[in-house]
Amino acid sequence: MKQLEEYVKSIPDFPEKGIIFRDVTSVLQDADGLHLAVDTMQDLVKDLEYDVVAGPESRGFIFGTPIAYNNHKPFVLIRKSGKLPRETIQKEYALEYGTAVIEMHKDSIQPGQKVLIVDDLIATGGTTKAMIELVEELGGQVVGIVVLIELKGLKGRDLLKGYRLDAAIQYEGK
């Protein structure tokens, strides 16, 4: 059986020279790779007690929903601004060149609920920090964050001090 890292394709010089792009679509396009990714991420947090799984569009949905399903937990969508139909709360966060806004339904997390955040990748940590702030604004407690890939060179973990972060694969570079 292949190792999880073998399913991730590394694309040099994308989107610009000197960057190695870690492509998770190659994991998703292989049934064994997808199965191994979800199982590995789920195993990393098997000791955590949580009430709700939350994840951002779009790949947080892909990895978070099966983890929620397998553990009989609800899944909460975190989306780009303007995509959710009911009353929402929003958080603006910094990108490399500008800002972005994410939101979640105001009634998606109840005070005191323990939340596991699931995503495909952590780089600088800005999106993850914004998700944590949304959960906490609603009175939830983030008990863990699990990602498929961590790009250690971008130091996203530093922004998330005090929160448990597990990564199925860690790459030293950016």
Active site residues: 59, 96
Cα 37 to Cα 118: distance, rounded to the nearest angstrom: 12
117-145 pLDDT per residue, tens:
999 999 999 999 999 999 999 999 999 99
Residue located via tokens 């929903």: 65
62-84 pLDDT per residue, tens:
999 999 999 999 999 999 999 99
How crowded is the C-beta side of 33, counted as CA atoms within 13 Å?
16
Strand partners, 98: 95
DSSP string, 64-84: HHHHHHHTT--EEEEEETT--
Q: How many CB atoms lie within 10 A of CB 129?
A: 17
Cα 8 to Cα 121: distance, rounded to the nearest angstrom: 12
Low-confidence ranges of the chain (pLDDT < 50): none
